[in-house]
Amino acid sequence: MAMKPVLVLTAGYGEGHNTAAKNIAAAVEHLGGEAHVVDPFQITYGKLNDIIRKLYIFSINRAPHAWQMFYNMLDKNPATADQLTKFRGMTRVLQGLVDEYQPGAVISTYPAYNFTLAELYGRGQAPFHQATMVTDSISVNALWYLGYSDRYYVPNQLTADVLYEKGIEKERVGVSGFPVQLDFALPERRLAPADLQESVPEVLYVVNSGKQRAPAVVKRLMEKSEWKVTVAVGMDDALQSHIARIVEPYAGRGTVIGWTRELPRLMMSHHLLISKAGGATVQEAIAAGCPMLINQVVPGQEEGNYELIKNNDAGTFASSPEQILERARRCFADQGAIWQQWRKNIMALGDPQSSLKIAKDLMEVC
């Protein structure tokens, strides 16, 4: 019997969901299987979904307390789960996707789909193996475990413990690690940063949603240090041009790039990452062994990611340009004494093989 495909469900609300979905699919295909990544919300609602995504980004940056109230409502109010079965258009789309691909396994990286699948097939009655990749760490919203799943994959044991406490049986929880890119898993693609005793520190600044402060941060890093600084700005051409003008006078110490597939390589080859506490970003930093200066924490969903770094002494928080410079200087002082400890600690947290492990599990049931 031919192996059935894996259907991977994602949503564009935060980079963690899409990153996890793409990496699981890539691992399945690397192992010789077939995988399809789909976003039923985007397929169903199109432009309306785009507007809602923009409102989400606006709220986490400009109204974080309002977002926290909404997030807590989703977490504390069980009636919210009932509302997630009311997306009739998306229910039809999801039914159509299952009919089209005839998957042996469906894995969701966004919790809403488990409620829709239960509406279609009943809890635990789907004609395929139903799995969930929990992209949050430690601070797990109730929506992740209120919806049914045959198998829950979680990024670490602390997150597994949360699910156990909420009544999910241990045999249904797999401590897989977050599904990171294959660059971290395959030995021929692994890199390491230069020895700090023989070279200057190399700092990677990945600009996510908090773009307003980015030019000031880069200006301070270039003016007040001798470090090499790489700034990744994504698909914001205007910001890329602005920061390029800032780094131009500094004798090649600064590099500015737009959207890139090379972030795994950059994380592995740099000594320090400055970025927000996004689920994918933190877990990729862990896989790379790259300590973090976290400059933004979205209330609720990213608090656990920050706790993971802070509580394991694998980095720290710094929001203003002055804080970022001062705390980076501190970690690189004394031939990088603090940095060495951070790197040792962060390398102990992750599993670069996570995507391959999840893919093997899914392919076995297909």
pLDDT at residue 186 greater than cutoff 70:
yes
Residue for token pair 């021929």: 188
Angle between helices 64-76 and 40-62 (to 10 degrees): 130
Higher per-residue pLDDT: 171 or 142: 171
The C-alpha atoms of residue 175 and residue 157 are separated, in whole angstroms, by 6
Q: Are 228 and 203 in contact (CB under 8 A)?
A: yes
Q: Which residues contact 126 (CB under 8 A, 6 or more apart)?
A: 106, 117, 120
pLDDT at residue 302 greater than cutoff 90:
no
Q: Which residues sit opposite 351 in a β-bridge?
A: none
Q: What is the pLDDT of residue 139?
A: 83
Per-residue pLDDT tens digits for 146-180: 999 999 999 999 999 999 999 999 999 999 999 99
Q: Tell me what the mean pLDDT of segment 52-60 comes to.
A: 75
Between 61-75, 88-102, 319-333, the lowest mean confidence (pLDDT) is in 61-75
pLDDT at residue 84 greater than cutoff 80:
no
pLDDT at residue 73 greater than cutoff 80:
no
Q: What is the pTM of this model?
A: 0.84
Phi, psi for residue 201 in degrees, rounded to 5: -60, 145
* Averaged confidence pLDDT in the chain: 90
Q: Tell me what the mean pLDDT of segment 266-292 comes to.
A: 94
pLDDT band at 75 (very low <50, low <70, confident <90, very high): low
pLDDT at residue 1 greater than cutoff 80:
no
Q: Are 297 and 275 in contact (CB under 8 A)?
A: no
pLDDT at residue 2 greater than cutoff 90:
no
Region of residue 175 (left: phi > 0; alpha: psi -120 to 50; beta: else): beta
Q: What is the pLDDT of residue 67?
A: 64
Angle between helices 321-347 and 279-288 (to 10 degrees): 60
Q: Which residues of 4-31 are buried (b: 16+ CB within 10 A; e: fewer)?
A: bbbbbbbbbbbbbbbbbbbbbbbbbeee
Q: What is the pLDDT of residue 70?
A: 66
Enumerate long-range contacts of 182-187, CB under 8 Å, 24 or more apart.
Answer: 182/23, 182/26, 182/27, 182/30, 182/355, 182/356, 183/264, 183/265, 183/268, 184/264, 184/268, 184/284, 184/287, 184/288, 184/352, 185/352, 185/353, 185/354, 185/355, 185/356
Per-residue pLDDT tens digits for 211-220: 888 999 999 9
Per-residue pLDDT tens digits for 283-294: 999 999 999 999
Q: Tell me what the mean pLDDT of segment 108-112 comes to.
A: 93
Q: Tell me what the mean pLDDT of segment 65-85 comes to.
A: 66
The C-alpha atoms of residue 152 and residue 358 are separated, in whole angstroms, by 10
Higher per-residue pLDDT: 260 or 251: 260
pLDDT band at 80 (very low <50, low <70, confident <90, very high): low
Q: Are 179 and 355 in contact (CB under 8 A)?
A: yes
The C-alpha atoms of residue 49 and residue 85 are separated, in whole angstroms, by 17
In the chain, how many H helices and how many E strands?
Answer: 16, 12
> 366: closest CA among 31, 123, 140, 142?
31
Percent of the chain residues topping a pLDDT of 90: 69
pLDDT band at 26 (very low <50, low <70, confident <90, very high): very high
Q: Are 97 and 48 in contact (CB under 8 A)?
A: no
Q: Tell me what the mean pLDDT of segment 68-89 comes to.
A: 68
> 227: closest CA among 204, 256, 195?
204
